[in-house]
Amino acid sequence: MPQIEVTNLRKSFFISEKSEGLKGALKGLFSGKKREIHALNGISFSIGKGEMIGYIGPNGAGKSTTIKILSGILTPDSGKCLIEGRTPWKERVAHVSGIGVVFGQRTQLWWDLAVGESFKLLKAVYRIPDETYNSNVAELTELLKLAPLLSVPVRQLSLGQRMRCEIAASLLHSPPILFLDEPTIGLDALSKLAIREFIRRINRERGVTVILTTHDMDDIEALCSRVLVIGEGKIYLDGTIEDLRRKLTNRRRLLIETEESRKLSHHKAKVLSVKGNRWELEFDPESISPAELVRELMDSYAVKDIYLENVPIDEIIAQLYKEVGEVSP
């Protein structure tokens, strides 16, 4: 049986209609005119224990709404969701002991308390036994390098430091499932790598199921074996990154550096860019194999260096988001 089973979830919001300007805003406030937004339009998926899922989609697609329903914060209008046999919004107390949640844009820590004090409060909130708490704090402190931060008030932490503490806080009660909503937003490259490495580790070593929403495709490529793409409140694709690539493009790129200033061309490849003697070509591997293309180019030009690559995932996702469209409020 899947650990998470979501069937036909729907959720709408009503927002006040308003015209432009202050006058329009005030008029909208009092006119009572409302417009319905279908944030989730009947989504279904199931997730097995220990999976690491990337949940992606354009702004306003319904990602955070899904995570809020899965964590019991929001109640859907209709549909089913069973997580380890529980319905999140009906059995909230039992449910929160089995999940960890991190919202990158919000904190679950107490702003004026030192991090260590926040952890102790969470211990009380979740009724974590001493032994579990002590061993988790020790392990998380070591893995996320929290020792110098435990005595610092949360409001004095940098974003990257706070995010490490947020992730530790979400795991203090050893939940088997972790929801991460944009955990690397605004972080520098080094902090992102540290957080990624940690997520990979708890997934591998503790078998924690991870659902990760992010706009950072490097996060997804580095971590997720499976992606769920949501657009206009519906699941648009459920598969591997390779499935995503294949569905949207089969084109490949070749970077080639020559030792001559002659213009480079090939009838089965399109030149995307030129910088000095460095050429970026795009081709369809069904019309010419990479080996054949390389051989033909090497026969015709003095080639210094050559590098084959896929179309970058960011470009693929940008193309995908154009297809699924942004949900405008």
Tell me the β-bridge partners of 303.
Answer: 258
CB of 38 to ligand ATP, least distance (A): 8
Residue 184 engages ligand ATP in binding (rule: CB under 6 A) = no
What is the distance between the alpha carbons of residues 118 and 109, in angstroms, rounded to a whole number? 6
Residue 329 engages ligand ATP in binding (rule: CB under 6 A) = yes
Residue 185 engages ligand ATP in binding (rule: CB under 6 A) = no
The two three-digit tokens of residue 29, written as one number: 């406030």
CB of 244 to ligand ATP, least distance (A): 17
**One of 54, 62, 72, 88 touching ligand ATP (CB under 6 A):** 62
Q: Which stretch binds ligand ATP (CB under 6 A): 52-60, 136-144, 189-197, 271-279?
A: 52-60
Q: Which stretch binds ligand ATP (CB under 6 A): 25-33, 56-64, 193-201, 299-307?
A: 56-64
Residue 89 engages ligand ATP in binding (rule: CB under 6 A) = no
Residue 76 engages ligand ATP in binding (rule: CB under 6 A) = no
Residue 65 engages ligand ATP in binding (rule: CB under 6 A) = yes
Q: Considering the complex, state which of residue 41 and residue 136 has its C-beta at the smaller distance from ligand ATP.
A: 41
Question: What separation in angstroms does the CA of 289 have from each of 173, 234, 243, 254?
Answer: 52, 36, 20, 12
Residue 64 engages ligand ATP in binding (rule: CB under 6 A) = yes
Q: Considering the complex, state which of residue 57 and residue 175 has its C-beta at the smaller distance from ligand ATP.
A: 57
What is the distance between the alpha carbons of residues 105 and 184, in angstroms, rounded to a whole number? 10
CB of 126 to ligand ATP, least distance (A): 26
Q: Considering the complex, state which of residue 66 and residue 118 has its C-beta at the smaller distance from ligand ATP.
A: 66
CB of 39 to ligand ATP, least distance (A): 3
CB of 57 to ligand ATP, least distance (A): 5
Q: Which residues, other chains included, contact 106 with Cβ-Cβ below 8 Å and sequence gap of 6+?
A: none
Q: Considering the complex, state which of residue 68 and residue 266 has its C-beta at the smaller distance from ligand ATP.
A: 68
Count of residues that bind ligand ATP according to CB under 6 A: 14
What is the distance between the alpha carbons of residues 12 and 15, in angstroms, rounded to a whole number? 10
DSSP string, 207-264: --EEEEE-S-HHHHHHH-SEEEEEETTEEEEEE-HHHHHHHH---EEEEEEESS-SPP
The number of beta carbons lying within 10 Å of the beta carbon of residue 260 is 11
CB of 121 to ligand ATP, least distance (A): 27
3-state helix, strand, coil in the chain (%, to 5): 40, 30, 35
Question: What separation in angstroms does the CA of 216 have from each of 62, 113, 224?
Answer: 17, 31, 12
**One of 7, 13, 255, 282 touching ligand ATP (CB under 6 A):** 13
Q: Considering the complex, state which of residue 261 and residue 328 has its C-beta at the smaller distance from ligand ATP.
A: 328
Q: Where are the beta strands (DSSP E) in 86-191?
A: 99-103, 177-181
Residue 63 engages ligand ATP in binding (rule: CB under 6 A) = yes
Residue 29 engages ligand ATP in binding (rule: CB under 6 A) = no
CB of 328 to ligand ATP, least distance (A): 7
What is the distance between the alpha carbons of residues 277 and 265, in angstroms, rounded to a whole number? 12
State the Cα angle at 62 between 60 and 64, rounded to 5°.
Answer: 100
Q: Considering the complex, state which of residue 64 and residue 258 has its C-beta at the smaller distance from ligand ATP.
A: 64
Angle between helices 241-248 and 313-324 (to 10 degrees): 70
Which residues lie near ligand ATP (CB under 6 A)? Answer: 13, 15, 37, 39, 57, 59-65, 327, 329
